[in-house]
Structure 1
């Protein structure tokens, strides 16, 4: 019977992508184990690209986790008692987690956080191991105006002015972001076929980013996809510092931030985000594409 390793990351697209180095470290550290990832089912198209996951169970949030007696359970979800207890309830032979192991530290980049956790347990992990592929850069520029919360959404009229200046542009978003993406596309004077929000599932978005020449977006999952496919990116940060969630330094990624912290779950655009001007974004585009 195969040895079983269960990892919990019941979060979104960007969260999964920041955990790729940790998942690959688990693959290297436990080559004899079958690795099951507890994560939202909709993220399934990403998993083969990681080379680190053998199976998936559909879990959104910190649990419960429908799995029994893994040899090893790894908490890549968070520090809260719910996720720790959810994994303890699977009756693992060994639990790897904050709380059970090292203390949680604030002010650590999300990628490094999970690599540091594994290193504490003697498992080598490389925070730079983020790549899923390399864009051939034959596709369009992607402008993605949406984000999970209004605090992280730069105004649509500003995104539209950037899109209008960039030429070969498509506007992306999920089904809930269709009105926002449509507003950006219309203000930018783009033809209807350039408005792709609500028309691409995750597999389609992966394919699109995997060919893109450039991504311009806020602090959201598409920014991490750009990093994963080595696509030049300009990422606009508001209430959260790029030191915690931003792209790695170098390789044509620019993170714009006004230096102000705020509430990432706020119901209005963050005041720091609003300090970023269209001209700054256009200048950053020239920087990463020249």
Structure 2
């Protein structure tokens, strides 16, 4: 469905998944502060966009997946903000909507702040929006979804690519350890990850269950209410950061300095055996060596320490 623009609208492009949406929340809040009297329209995937709309972070959603099709936008003289990428393709997509102003990183055809490849994702987009007058920083990551804290530990073994997917048998060892400690353990995963969750559950044994399919609202509430989350470099990790749920994270191809927890470092220990000079492919089809190097003993030690500190 197309969105008909008003002159006062701000159109923000971030046509990406859950993790990207969450790391972009501070920048969205900065956009709101820069143009407080205007309607904020987010071009993003429908499910994620409507969830952000329900939280009051945006006013309208233009269903958009990637950069393959023109934006279904009717109107002129709005402000366009590129929170999607460095350009030029994403710049051009927004330019086709005829904005009165384009806020975006510099390219040969556009003046703006310089892109920094080694910058944390949260800081990158905050810096861009601050350049346009919208105050925002890492503290704007925080979300309040109204969940009540439980005794449950969540394990999320899935990830969008094989490079970021720690082996299922190791997840089973961590799940078994938690269950043996008397901690209720639940495995979460999207529709494509139910087989993986069942594999982990079968190897972990009694006391470990699957959450089944959850809506995004349901997943957010489950993470926000958990005693502990253990997962990889994926969107669920950013939910834990945003909601303040303690988490142990296993990282592979991408340095935590770029995509790791941006606030409350003591609540979110990150295990990583990579180095900045040999960054892997986060979309790779085989397990990243840095992730493969993380042993179950390290994860169990980190989990025990976090449980002890949280009471």
TM-score if structure 2 supplies the norm length? 0.88
Measured after TM superposition, the shift of residue 130 of structure 1 is 0.7
Equivalent position of 2:90 in the other structure? 83
The answer as to 2:185 corresponding to 1:169 is yes
Please list every run of at least 4 consecutive aligned residues from structure 1 whose deviation after the TM superposition is greater than 6 angstroms: none
1:1-290 → structure 2 map (5 Å cutoff): 3-48=8-53, 50-62=55-67, 63-67=69-73, 68-99=75-106, 100=110, 101-133=112-144, 136-167=148-179, 168-190=184-206, 194-197=209-212, 199-248=213-262, 249-260=264-275, 261-289=279-307, 290=309
CA distance in 2, matches of 1:70, 1:230: 39
CA distance in 1, matches of 2:149, 2:190: 23
Measured after TM superposition, the shift of residue 143 of structure 1 is 0.3
Per mean C-alpha deviation after superposition, the further-off stretch among 229-238 and 133-142 is: 133-142
Measured after TM superposition, the shift of residue 160 of structure 1 is 0.6
For structure 1, which runs of at least 5 residues remain unmatched after alignment? none
CA distance in 2, matches of 1:116, 1:93: 21
Q: RMSD across aligned C-alpha pairs, in angstroms?
A: 1.7
Per mean C-alpha deviation after superposition, the further-off stretch among 65-74 and 29-38 is: 65-74
Distance 1:70 1:184, change over 3 A: farther
Q: Is the 8 A contact 2:87 2:105 kept in 1?
A: no
Q: Is the 8 A contact 2:53 2:60 kept in 1?
A: no
Q: Is the 8 A contact 1:5 1:70 kept in 2?
A: no
| Partner-residue secondary structure (3-state), 2:117 | coil
TM-score if structure 1 supplies the norm length? 0.94
Q: Work out the number of aligned pairs and report it.
A: 288
| Partner-residue secondary structure (3-state), 1:276 | coil
Measured after TM superposition, the shift of residue 13 of structure 1 is 0.1
| Partner-residue secondary structure (3-state), 2:265 | coil
| Partner-residue secondary structure (3-state), 1:56 | strand
